[in-house]
A and B are shown apart, each in its own frame.
Chain A
Amino acid sequence: MKRLVLISFLLACVTSAFATGFVALDRKSARTLTDGSTHTAPTIVALWSTDCPYCKKNLGVFTDMVKADASLQLITVAVEPLSAEVATSLDRIRVPGVRYVYGTDAPEAIAYALDPKWRGELPRTLFFDGRGNRVMISGAVDVATTRKSLGLPVQ
């Protein structure tokens, strides 16, 4: 019973935070986030920044896809500290999903933990097919590339 109460409390905290806020990423949580075994559904992890116009294009594509298909998951990672502009950029086009920002850990350590092959170019997107496979793509992508990268049939 004690355990149940604790779980409920923790769940409430997490849900509340996720509904209104951002999660600060460090190297450990970045490693967990991009571990293919943690994603059991097709999941898009979109790395973006406020000064990257192509990122906003990608976020628009992903937002539309996720809103049209509830089986897809979207997780965004702003590769910069939290600012009003980060929140506004996501809110403006109502980007769903868990929102991460860089925390106070060394940015290079977080980046390496997210994707050792990633060299800072943006947008960078990690596509998980939910069966343990992962595809990483730099640059703007369209719906067909996204579906293919998620292991879904291209419509």
Chain B
Amino acid sequence: MKHLRTLGALVATTIVLSSLPEPAFAADPKDKGTMAGMAKKVRVELASSAAFNKNGQLLAVAKQGDHLLLYRSSDQGSNWSPPVIINARPEAISGDGENRPKITFAQDGGVLVSWTKPLSKPNTGEVRLARSDDDGISFGAPITVHRDRQEITHRFETMIVGGDGRVYVAWIDKRDLESAKAAKHPYRGAAIYATVSDDGGRSFKPETKVADHSCECCRIAAAVDTDGAPLILWRHVFEPNERDHALAKLNLDGTPANVERATFDRWKVDGCPHHGPALAVAPDGTRHAVWFNVKDGAGRVFYGRLKSGGIDGQRLIGGEQAARADIAIANQRMAIIWKEFDGEQTLLHAEISEDGGASFKRLALGAASGASDHPRAIAHGKELFAYWRTELEGMRVFRLP
């Protein structure tokens, strides 16, 4: 009888490729009457980003199939507008937590949305950007921000607007790896490339290399330094195979002013961590970061203040299951948020510091019993928020006291 039960269970869980049922993900509950809401049994792809515009409205970007959608909330996430389609022509769009669509604002108020468009070969892509001149009511046709059009990796982009209004986009690029492969030379990891727009994201200069030997598939973090220049932080492959992080400050033309090692956990692995870092700069110039690494045999999330050649105040964030941390600073307040699976559901936590990271108070924000995106920490004026898109609850916003 035991065997019968086992066989029955096997049959119940066995799905033949050709007869896979439609995924049973519920459409976003907040999408009532919208394109996403009307689609039956369409899997909601959760990767999403959000940012406040100058009027205090929260704009969120998420993908649904081959379209990117823009949602708007005027009440800090309690209600969302029907979505606006960003790319009129459908195209493939990457939509996982490490490679999500992004949204930010040009200095003139233009809404900028970036994403990775996967190409036909595995692990290839182009970095795309669309701009709206009417606060997200409509978008122009997307552009590819790089000149290199080989069908290779240009993926995992990050986008940031510098203090002088220039728009910087950086991404993981495998052109140097491909050249090395063709020449039968060894090459660690991939590379980071960047490009700059001095017309608010309407066009971009030819890209330049920031660094060789980045890790291949972790998100890149970006923040604006106190002098207005962009800082980017990414997982790097230091010799021989240490997957720590590197930090670069970019010049006005996107070239690196300097590249230095940022973390020192020395995780040696020939593998893909799939965990990128997050970075925020305080008004006093201190660079606060959160990241994931395996240290002393355990994979954990860390917080620390990056300085040349070392880290101040490195400590663990959350428990053994803590993951996907993000960080934001508003004025003198700093928020670290992360999610943590407790064996049954995923919990969202925050720590708030009012003293530059010397001490933190901990908050429990919410829970999700289904799938969930990485949470995003958002600063708006003097306020801090957590934005979290979850399978069963939709787009959720938590104001952090």
Mutual binders A and B:
yes
Q: Which residues of A contact B (CB under 8 A)?
A: 3, 6-7, 10-11, 13-14, 16-18, 20-26, 29, 32, 49-55, 81-82, 85, 87, 89, 103-104, 106-109, 111-112, 116-124, 138-140
Decide if B294 is an interface residue (CB 8 Å cutoff): yes
Does B11 count as interface, using CB distance less than 8 angstroms?
yes
Given contacts A52-B217, A52-B271, A121-B271, A85 and B10 within 8 Å (CB-CB): no
- Known A10-B11, A104-B24, A119-B294; contact A138-B17, beta-carbon cutoff 8 A: no
Alpha-carbon separation in the docked complex, A21 to B11 (Å) = 12
- By the criterion CB–CB under 8 Å, are B269 and A23 in contact? no
Number of chain B residues whose Cβ lies closer than 8 Å to a Cβ of chain A: 46
* Interface presence of B13 (CB below 8 A): yes
Residue B273 lies at the interface, judged by CB distance under 8 Å to chain A:
yes
Q: Is the CB of B4 within 8 A of A6?
A: yes
Given A13-B14, A23-B15, verify A138-B122 contact (CB < 8 Å): no
* Given A13-B11, A120-B275, A138-B294, A7 contacting B269 (CB threshold 8 A): no
Q: Which one, A25, A104, A107, A140, contacts B271 given CB within 8 A? A: A140
A-B contact pairs, 5 of them (CB 8 A): A23-B14, A106-B372, A120-B323, A121-B273, A139-B269
Q: How far is the CB of A100 from chain B (nearest CB, A)?
A: 9
Contact, CB under 8 Å: A50 / B16:
no
B15 touches A7 (CB 8 A): no
In the complex formed, the residue of A with least CB distance to B7 is A10
Evaluate contact between B14 and A21: CB separation under 8 angstroms.
Answer: yes
Across the interface, A106 reaches (CB within 8 A) one of B43, B122, B369, namely B369
Q: A7-B4, A89-B122, A139-B270 are in contact. Are A23 and B13 (CB under 8 A)?
A: yes
| Cβ–Cβ contact A50 & B13, under 8 A | no
Closest to B155 in A: A51
CB proximity to A under 8 Å, residues B343-401: 343-344, 346, 368-372, 391
CB-CB nearest in chain A for B6:
A32
Nearest A residue to B324, CB-CB: A120
- Whether A140 contacts B391 by the Cβ 8 Å rule is no
* Distance A28 CA – B269 CA, assembled complex (angstroms): 30
B16 contacts A20, C-beta separation under 8 Å: yes
Q: Which residue of B lies closest to A140 (CB)?
A: B270
- B275's contact among A13, A18, A118, A119, by CB below 8 Å, is which? A119
Contacts of B123 in A (CB 8 A): 50-51, 53
- The reply to whether A119 and B216 form a contact with Cβ atoms under 8 Å apart is no
Given pairs A20-B18, A25-B13, 6 additional interface contacts (CB within 8 A): A51-B217, A52-B217, A106-B368, A108-B346, A120-B323, A138-B269
Q: Is the CB of A82 within 8 A of B272?
A: no
Which of chain A's residues have a CB closer than 8 A to the CB of B264? none
Q: Which residues of A contact B217 (CB under 8 A)?
A: 51-52
Q: Can you name the residue of chain A whose Cβ is closest to the Cβ of B123? A: A51
A123 to B346, CA, bound (A): 23
Q: Across the A-B interface, give the 5 residue pairs with the lowest CB-CB distance, nearest first.
A: A119-B299, A21-B16, A139-B271, A140-B270, A139-B269
CA distance in complex: A89, B121 (Å) = 12
- Docked CA distance A14–B10 (Å): 7
Residue among B11, B17, B217, B275 with most chain A CB within 10 A: B17
Query: Which residues of A are found within 8 Å of B270, using beta-carbon distances?
Result: 54, 139-140
Bound CA–CA A107/B3 (angstroms): 28
B20 on interface, CB distance cutoff 8 Å: yes
Cα–Cα, bound, A23→B323 (Å):
27
Check if A21 sits within 8 Å of B18, measured CB to CB: yes
Closest Cβ of chain A: how far from B389's Cβ, in Å?
14
Nearest-neighbour CB distance to chain B for A73, whole angstroms, equals: 16
- Pair B341/A109 contact, Cβ less than 8 Å: yes
Question: Closest Cβ of chain B: how far from A14's Cβ, in Å?
Answer: 5
B313 at the A interface (CB under 8 A): no
Contacts A18-B14, A51-B123, A52-B272 given: A121-B370 contact, CB under 8 Å?
no
A81 to B15, CA, bound (A): 12
Which listed residue (B17, B122, B216) contacts A87, Cβ 8 A? Answer: B17
Question: Which of A3, A14, A121 is B274 in contact with, Cβ under 8 Å?
Answer: A121
- Assess whether B7 is in contact with A51, with CB atoms less than 8 Å apart: no
Bound form: Cα–Cα A103–B43 in Å: 12
Task: Flag if B272 contacts A11 (CB, 8 Å).
Answer: no
